[in-house]
Structure 1
Amino acid sequence: MIAACSVAGSDSGGGAGIQADLKTFTALEVFGLTVITAVTAQNTREVRGTWMLPPEAVRAQMEAVADDFFIGAWKTGMLGNAANVRAVAEVLPEGAALVIDPVMVSTSGHRLLAEDAVRDLAELLIPRAAVVTPNIPEAEVLSRMRVETVEDMAEAGRRVLDLGARAVVVKGGHLSGGEAVDLLVDRDGEMRLSGERYPYSVHGSGCCFSAALTAYLARGMPARRAFAAAREFIDTAIREAAGGPGPVRIVNPGGTILRRR
């Protein structure tokens, strides 16, 4: 049985976080495991409240699933604070395939990662990552530079790569104009993928993309193939959102849409 584990926050609206990750894992026929780091009160429009779980709870959940499942890949999403970043780093198995979605701020502007946790994320987890998947604002924080063009995305990706990750995917959805460009940077160079830029925003696209990438890695794909497959998966999910601003609609490879009622 192929399993993947998401270490992230719970989204009461079901459109992002743990809930979106589980839907994505299911659509891609990977058994989903979860480690909940936080409980949030949110919907597709706003985060109304956040309650962090203590680091000992995060450790206990990770140890429980690691002791009973063969986990092909791990994903981190919302970790929230430095204590939880350190807890994940302590328990994560050596050599694990790790995707880091460096969730820092929600679309509605709610802070999801304490400022003092960014250094721990960069020093303790990013060097162990198979892939890091920042959006433009997150790439700016991690690379300490402004990102305004695709060339800037490449430079920011190289700077994050220098932190020790094996690959970095800088997501270009926050850039304006033209096609939407996502860029993978690894030790072999760059891989750019372009697609339609939809005239609306959706909730949960970053979680869905990184979860799809995690699922493909768990299934044995190399990073570049997983990037291309995850990009196709999220493009379909955004297109099927049918105008936004609601959640992405997760579609399995057979074409079945996992809709909310």
Structure 2
Amino acid sequence: MIPNILSIAGSDPSGGAGIQADIKAISANGGYAMSVLTALTAQNTRGVRAVSLCDTDLIAAQIAALRDDIRIDAIKIGMLGDAAIIECVAGGIDGLDCPVVLDPVMVAKGGDRLLEEAAVSALRTLLPRADLITPNLPEAADLLGCDEAETLEQMREQAHALLALGPRAVLMKGGHLKGDQSPDMLVTRHDELRFDAPRIATRNTHGTGCTLSSALATGLGMGLPLPEATRRAKAYLSGALAAADRLSVGSGHGPVHHFHAYHEDDQ
């Protein structure tokens, strides 16, 4: 059965991140994508120009409309914007029996902040609702109120510190570390697994976090065990990054090639 995957996130009109990237990644990985918008942005590959957060009543109505009619097999949560939206989403998904992947989107690729600093504490209250959180190193540091990890051991320590805040698992993304490898570390209360991949030389990395977390949610919605869903999602993202330069989208940080597997003749 094709799983129904719900993305709760903001919109990126350039198509590289946010809801648009989520829909592409979910579809490319075999899921049926649904979406609840939390914010509208004006952005392109060079940066964010404006952000308008959606009214919480409308967000709640979107979630309720889906719950009333459609089976939800997994949820991916991305950009939430402020504390009121965080509380709204937490209430909206309460009682749903499906995996929840939380990508704690705080800052866009170009450095523009997408979560109010005052809302970070509210985001921490959502962590116990998540089966998996997928922070990069700056996001992990924001959540913990500490310096950004610079080594694998510091990554590991921060993953365990985040685990203590309530999620069932933490995938620490090590793309900000220096070196030829891009290591990710999956930590649960019972296990630690490391996923390495060669660092791919491309500036087209817009939306990598959205893409990975959506692919992961799709795997979990299919019933895959967390380690296998993580392995598949990371392999999918590596392929999308490797093919990213086949696209010509903008003059800044362009998107990854979400449908690279379906465009092999373009190589």
State the TM-score, normalized to the length of structure 2.
0.92
Give the gaps of 5 or more residues in structure 2: 247-251
- Following the alignment from structure 2 to structure 1, what is the Cα–Cα distance between the partners of residues 3 and 200? 33
SS in structure 2 of the partner of residue 178 of structure 1: coil
- Following the alignment from structure 2 to structure 1, what is the Cα–Cα distance between the partners of residues 88 and 253? 34
Q: Cα deviation per residue 1:100-151 (whole Å; 9 max; x = unaligned)?
A: 000000011111001121111111x110111000001001111233211111
- Say whether the 8 Å CA contact 2:82–2:115 is kept in structure 1: yes
Could you tell me which residue of structure 2 aligns to residue 212 of structure 1? 215
Q: Cα deviation per residue 1:77-108 (whole Å; 9 max; x = unaligned)?
A: 00000000000011103243100000000011
Give the count of matched residue pairs.
Answer: 256
Select 1:195's aligned residue among 194, 197, 200.
197
Q: Say if 2:117 is the partner of 1:115.
A: yes
- Following the alignment from structure 2 to structure 1, what is the Cα–Cα distance between the partners of residues 217 and 86? 19
Could you tell me which residue of structure 1 aligns to residue 62 of structure 2? 61
Could you tell me which residue of structure 2 aligns to residue 133 of structure 1? 134
- Say whether the 8 Å CA contact 2:170–2:186 is kept in structure 1: yes
Could you tell me which residue of structure 2 aligns to residue 172 of structure 1? 174
By percentage of residues, which structure has more strand?
A: 1
- Say whether the 8 Å CA contact 1:129–1:166 is kept in structure 2: yes
- Following the alignment from structure 2 to structure 1, what is the Cα–Cα distance between the partners of residues 263 and 156? 34
Could you tell me which residue of structure 1 aligns to residue 158 of structure 2? 156
Select 2:229's aligned residue among 226, 229, 238.
226
- Say whether the 8 Å CA contact 2:132–2:168 is kept in structure 1: yes
- Post-superposition shift, 1:41? 0.7
Counterpart amino acid of 1:20?
Answer: A
Give RMSD over aligned pairs: 1.6
SS in structure 2 of the partner of residue 71 of structure 1: coil
Q: Cα deviation per residue 1:14-53 (whole Å; 9 max; x = unaligned)?
A: 0110001001111112111100000011111211111100
After superposition, residues 5-24 of structure 1 pair within 5 angstroms as: 5-24=6-25
Give the gaps of 5 or more residues in structure 1: none
